[in-house]
Every structure is written in structure tokens, then in C-alpha cells.
Structure 1
Amino acid sequence: MKRWLLLGALIGFSSAEAMAAPLCLSGSYQSYMNLNASGGCQFGNAIFSNFSFAYQSNDGTTSASPNKGAASVTVTPENQPVADDNHPGLAFGTANLTPAIGSFEDYTFTFTVSALTGFFLDDAFLKMTGAFLVGDGVATTIETLTPFNNPQTNLNGFFTFAITNQKTSSVVFNNSSSLTVTKDVKLSNSSALVFDLSSVSNDFSLVSDPVPEPVTSVMIGLGLCGLGFSIRKRLKKS
């Protein structure tokens, strides 16, 4: 009886991790920051948490200006490049970066990605969506990635009117249980009258832990113990 109580407790503990955080849904970046108190949100086999936001410009706007704060940034969960639970990511709507000619506007997003038990993060992918259509400027995304127990690494993307093939970036790192992302998205307007920076997205890949989880090991052990006990009883009867 005690064995089954222990087994039930361990299974309950294992499933509690997946149930602890709500699912990541489409919303504003402010709504994601509001999830910090409850541990973030789950998307696929990862937890996204510890969201923070900053805004800078030289055109007189601030995060309190209309359409410039965290509430004006849309966040949409996505699975890229493979639509499964091991490729979770978030797309950040950046269309409200609209600096005047000669000015810049800048968002900084910071958040943590944590793999669920039994998984590890092993790469990150950046994609920018947008274009300068009339006139020129430069849109840049500089990301600092700090994997747990791994060296710091970076992702970099940019585009101008003439250069359009540098909008993506990827990096591979050693298996890590979590990753802190600091994403600096900046739009500088040199002469553009028509331009767009629709979104900047991050996607992450996870791999399964080849070593059995503790709960799995315990279940196997208890199963073997039960089998041994049953065989022993049969031998005694014979």
C-alpha cells in the first residue's frame, strides 16, 4: 500500500510542473509581464517567464506615449520551423516602431525560456519581418542569449532598403535547461517615408533527455520490485 501511495505522489509531482503555468496565448506584451507573478506561461515543452520591457527613442516619445508601451506590442505563440511541441517560440509585433526621419525608436525585451523536465534547449532562431519601401534606414535586432551553464552567445539580424538577406540568425549551443534572452530591436529612419517592421520572432529547439527521468526510474524500480515479490510468493507456494 505504501509503495502505491509513494508512486502516486511521485506521478502527481511530475505532472504538477506541466500544470503549474497557464498556456501562452496571443495577447500584449503587458499581459505576458502580468504572468510573471504566476511563473509565466507554457508553450510546447517550455515555460516562458520573467518578462521585462524597456523603450528608448530620440524623437520625444516615451513608453507612456500612445502606442509605444508594452501594451501596444502584440505577442503571438508560434512553432517554427517545425510545428511541434519541441519548437516553441514567440513573435513580437513591432509595427508601432515608427520614428520620424532622422530619429530612432528602440524596444528591449527580456525573458527566460525553461525546458520542461526531460527536455533541454539546444538552439535559438531569430527572424525579422519588414522592409523599407520608399527611402532608407536600418532595422536591427541584437540578442544576447545566456544559456544556463553555457557561455553567453548572440543573435543578430538587420535590414535596409538595399540589404534584405540578413533578416534571420541562428545559433546552436550545448544542451541547457534554461535560457535568458535580451532582445534589442531598433529602427533608425534616415530618409524613409514608407517602411515597416512588422514583427521580430524567436523560436527555440528542444531535445529529449536520454537519461530516464527520476519518476520514470522509480516507476521501473517499483515495477521490478513488484515482479520480484510476485515471483517470490509463487516460489514459496511451490
Structure 2
Amino acid sequence: MKARQGGIALNKLLLADDDPNIRALVRFVMTREGYRVHEAKDGAEALQVMARTPIDLAIVDIMMPRMDGLELCGQIRELYDIPIIMLTAKDQLTDKAQGYRMGTDDYMTKPFEPEELLFRVRALFRRYNRVSSDLIRLNRVTIDRKNIEVSDGQSTLLLPMKEFELLAQLAQYPGRLFAREELIRLVWGSDYEGDDKTVAVHINRLRQRFADYADDFTIHTVRGIGYKLEVSGR
């Protein structure tokens, strides 16, 4: 259980940005709300911080010396299961696509309102705060990761393993956008050498199987990037 201050969990944030003014501004807003902020001036220093301190969420700037934010994001995804917000002065779709492919959860363009960053941090913590690591509930649908089953309370559906793993991966973090390359690595493994269209094929099969549960959850395609699962009513 995390210590609490003023009703807010003292989650630990990593802020990686080479601009001291940005770090000071974000540090002020986040510490005021009860978060503990650990700072780094570049990606290499950020990994050193994470090696010695458990971090709950990372805020990462793209343009940094030694190791930029994209490489850092990829390293974090390999080593840790935490949400990542990427900061950048760029606002091109291709830059955002590259960030999502590296595993970022959210994206903010500089200049930004510190309060909006705070709102996004809170939203990501809600998204990642799962009640159980084994059971994932999508309204009527329950995914049992331990027994590899999907149930609606009346009947149980046994999915092919890759379909189940893909559904569970998306459902564990509702609203998070996963790049196709990331899903292949997470579900099929980093040594997978097959057709990258296999993700689209499995997504279509899941949509067909759960067509009657569109009021509970939907799997959206984000053109040119990947997929995300949205839970109705959230």
C-alpha cells in the first residue's frame, strides 16, 4: 500500500527532460498534488534513476541528449510495465505514430498546460490500476487470465491461445493505444518472423466472436498505428 498525503497516493513519477524550466514547472504541479517526482536530464540518466527507484509513471521528452525519448520509451517498455506520457515540440502525425510504436501511452505537444498534464497523469493511473491481475472485467464480460477463459456470467468461451492473449493484453489497459509492432512483440514474441498482418486477422476474429457484446466493449483501429480497446461507460 502506498503512503498517502491529503487523500492522494504518493505515486513516484519519473520526469525526463533536458529543459530545467519544464522540469521545475512539472515538479511544482505534481508535488503540489502529492506525487513524488524523480528527475533526469536525458534518457541514460532516466534509466539509472529507474534502476534504483521504483517508478509508477514516466513523463518523457523526445528531444534529449545522449539517449532521446523514443529510445528511452523503448527501453522502459522492455524493462517495466508502467504508463508513459511523451512530451514533444513536434505535432506531426508521423512523430506521434513513432512514439506510439515505441510504447507510449499518451502524447502532449509543447507548450502545454500543466493542469492538463496532471489530468492525463491521473487518467493513466486509473487505467493502469487493475483490481486483479487475473480477472479483467469489461462490463458483462470477464477475462480470467489464470484459467484462460472468457465468460459473460452465463456461458464460458475458450479462445485460441493467441486470440486470448491479444484480447487480454488490450483489455488490461483499456483506452491505451497499442502499435501493431508492440502487440506482435507482446503476444507473439520478439523473435516472431511471420506476416505482420496476423494482428489484423486476429483482431477481426475477436470482433466477430464478440459482436453481440458491442455494448460492453469495442476494439478500435487507429489507422496507420494500431489498436485500442474501449470499455463502454468509462
Instruction: Specify which structure has the higher proportion of strand.
Output: 1
Q: TM-score, normalised by structure 1?
A: 0.24
- TM-score by length of structure 2 reads 0.25
Which structure exhibits the higher relative contact order, with contacts defined as CA atoms closer than 8 Å and separated by 6 or more residues?
Answer: 1
Larger radius of gyration: 1
Q: Which has the higher helix share?
A: 2
